[in-house]
Amino acid sequence: MDTDETDPETGDPNGLQTAVGQFADGLSTMNVQLNPSAAAKAKDPETLGFDEGVAKLVDGSNQLKAGLKKVYQQRGTLASGVQQLTDGLNSLNVKAPKLSSGVTQLLNGSGQLSNGLDQLNGQVPTLASGVNKLADGSKQVDTGAGQLSDGLNQLNSKVPASSTG
């Protein structure tokens, strides 16, 4: 079987799940064949550690087989996640130049804004002076308007009333 083939009967890619299962079964068989009776174990203390090691190895291979089965069952989700990650990276790669250009424009615009604010701040005293002159002028206009009104009233009182007859 090629490395990219999937077993049509089990759906097992590359026979990996089958190989792990066969390994676990072989260890179980070896454990049964090498496991002497209780009386023999009691006489040979060296086999105690070996038996425990084989039992742990069998248990570990069974856990590996179960874990591999879970990974195999989730391969579609994993492939979908990898595709989403790839799509996201491609999108980021496409949009990064626009983002960079936008940041450059923002930086240039903030520099122009800063310059404009500096110019505005430099002209605030001139504006304040102009507002003060306008206020003084409006007081003069108000005073002049009052004087004009008084003068018109005096003029009006000196002009004889006309009689139409």
- Euclidean distance between CA atoms 50 and 33, whole angstroms: 13
- Euclidean distance between CA atoms 20 and 61, whole angstroms: 7
CA dist 158 → 147, 150, 151, 153 (Å): 17, 13, 11, 9
pTM for this prediction: 0.36
The per-residue pLDDT string of the chain (165 residues; one tens digit each, 9 = 90 and over) reads: 444 555 555 565 666 667 777 777 776 676 666 655 544 555 555 555 666 777 788 788 888 888 888 888 888 888 899 999 999 999 988 999 998 999 999 999 999 999 999 999 999 999 999 999 999 999 999 999 999 999 999 988 888 877 665
CA dist 143 → 17, 78, 146, 155 (Å): 104, 87, 5, 18
In this structure, which amino acid lies at residue 138? S
- Euclidean distance between CA atoms 99 and 97, whole angstroms: 5
| Gyration radius from the chain CA atoms | 49
